[in-house]
Structure 1
């Protein structure tokens, strides 16, 4: 039923207006049976969102699609449409999605579409793949890539250097965008340097909840970049029993503030299991020499193991404003392969790391949950 619906069809099909997609499904009548996947609902999503005044793009006549990257759950391309460049995020049809998750996903799409902030990626609309029928998000194109890539351009070999003005501007941008999300009741849940995009040197928060549905997605661990380094320790300790909240976002923000001084992700040279062990045992990355104490004190509080000790976003914003007048020109970091406050470890197999986790303070079931459900890589 849903596979043949495109933007033009959606505009001609009208039903009694409902702002709840589950009510909308009931109104449409019997839904095709099959696996609970995005493929089952993609056509209905297009119809429902179009009736909610979300713009639906028809790219069937476009021939200038350019591949950007592929992740576990989507493929990202760029396209020029009516003289404007967009980013297309094509979500895999086999993403698991039941009706409850569909409702949450739809609500998050509406939140993103209605978001209007200089530091949040803009959702311009939706579409469907002309050949694959994949559900696609039509997003603002960020010309500077991810924050991870942006910082990488400031490295020369093992030397990273960032101007204080750029650091503060980027930190403010991320904080301002996150403040807007929280004020509108949106928890990101997956902040890391590949979910922050750069456009004209300004930071844009992307991917809050979209295609990630809380902490329920599985993934592989064959990517060196891992979002577990930004993850609230309580989630690492308790697994999916612990839902991420606004304080979890503050923890991730603190790690990002540190990353702006270091130029590298946290625990960048460790395998995923050891990262989990380090963070769960309250080990954090080393402070980069030359970091103003007021700045490092701020991100240290953000990544506190106790959520109630983490500062509010308003407090962080005030401190960043005060720090903007610091009389320093650059932060420089010589990147090593052991920038963590821990002893040197001999090389161990993943099985040995797992055994170590079993003997640590990490609950084994939670440990397995985290490894099985952690989001790795980019795009998501």
Structure 2
């Protein structure tokens, strides 16, 4: 399973303003953010360093549209005989901020190489046809697998998926990158792995971020509150992903995203599932602690999940042996 990067969230547009108004009406203050973290490279610097990863659009064949975003669309395509995914930013939405986000995404994708991070193939960096080309993941998103195909995971498969996500996230955090939009829609599947990458950013020198991003149903309370946050915000999002894997349900499915955000801000969490493995329930609750410093790191989570996976495999073998 692979982690994915994207410049724009699919369902948060317009919600930030609504969230500000709603929180202003609720008790407590709404901490503002006066600045966003600087992009590590601007678009011109990215273009200057493009080299052999600059895509020749004449060699790129665009096929069917497979997903829509708020400011761009994802297509299946072919490049040099290889199946690829092509994310194209819509020219009518381009502005300096989006071009900076695009440059940031390209800069990060160029630097990361991990079996659980989607493989970057190249980019078209010449405005107005900005696009990013990555490997094509035939299995689609984990969100679709769970919620559209109504698949219920066995414990061993669930743990494999969760460990894949954790290993990709551990790699990103070790390289001082925060994902910022970890959710099942950004977890892509091939035949036997999960990969991811979303609205990632390099950590600034202070180690905290203040930009608004992400998707409310998976978002940590400190991000919702526009407070400084660090890598532990991704751990909170992972807790919600883990809950999805266990329940095969959409978090807060009876609420609007705004209602979910207000609830999380006030301490709401998804209802703990019955009959789930107690160690998973315990891990879930520690990962979505309100205080970020109480949440475990992805290296700790990976170790716990791998230990549990071994226990499950040994139990299964023992039962089958009998």
Do 2:59 and 2:79's aligned partners in 1 also have CA atoms closer than 8 Å?
no
TM-score (ref. length: structure 1) = 0.64
Work out which of the residue numbers 157, 164, 169 in structure 1 matches 2:160. Answer: 169
What does 1:220-299 align with in structure 2 at a 5 Å threshold? Answer: 227-236=215-224, 238-239=225-226, 242-299=227-284
Do 1:46 and 1:127's aligned partners in 2 also have CA atoms closer than 8 Å?
no
Do 2:73 and 2:88's aligned partners in 1 also have CA atoms closer than 8 Å?
yes
Do 1:46 and 1:126's aligned partners in 2 also have CA atoms closer than 8 Å?
no
* SS class of match (2:48): helix
Work out which of the residue numbers 46, 57, 60 in structure 1 matches 2:58. Answer: 60
Query: C-alpha deviations, 1:276-308, integer Å up to 9, x for none?
Result: 222122121112222111111001100011111
Distance 1:90 1:293, change over 3 A: same
Mapped pair 1:126 → 2:105 = no
Structure 2 CA distance for aligned equivalents of residues 108 and 61 of structure 1 = 22
What is the CA-CA distance between 1:194 and the residue it aligns to? Answer: 0.9
RMSD: 2.7
Distance 1:128 1:98, change over 3 A: closer
Work out which of the residue numbers 175, 180, 191 in structure 1 matches 2:182. Answer: 191
Do 2:219 and 2:233's aligned partners in 1 also have CA atoms closer than 8 Å?
yes
1:304 matched residue in structure 2: 289
1:326 matched residue in structure 2: 312
Distance 1:54 1:111, change over 3 A: farther
Alignment length, in residue pairs?
267
**Deviating more after overlay: 116-125 vs 242-251:** 242-251
What is the CA-CA distance between 1:216 and the residue it aligns to? Answer: 4.8
Mapped pair 1:110 → 2:95 = no
Mapped pair 1:147 → 2:139 = no
Structure 2 CA distance for aligned equivalents of residues 167 and 97 of structure 1 = 41
2:17 matched residue in structure 1: none
Structure 2 CA distance for aligned equivalents of residues 89 and 45 of structure 1 = 21
1:47 matched residue in structure 2: 47
Structure 1 CA distance for aligned equivalents of residues 106 and 210 of structure 2 = 14
Do 1:74 and 1:89's aligned partners in 2 also have CA atoms closer than 8 Å?
yes
What does 1:80-119 align with in structure 2 at a 5 Å threshold? Answer: 80-93=78-91, 94-98=93-97, 102=100, 106-119=103-116
Do 1:189 and 1:245's aligned partners in 2 also have CA atoms closer than 8 Å?
no
Do 2:46 and 2:103's aligned partners in 1 also have CA atoms closer than 8 Å?
no
Structure 1: which 5+ runs fail to align?
Answer: 1-19, 23-40, 218-225, 330-380
Distance 1:21 1:120, change over 3 A: closer
What is the CA-CA distance between 1:135 and the residue it aligns to? Answer: 0.6
Structure 2 CA distance for aligned equivalents of residues 303 and 114 of structure 1 = 29
What is the CA-CA distance between 1:105 and the residue it aligns to? Answer: 5.0
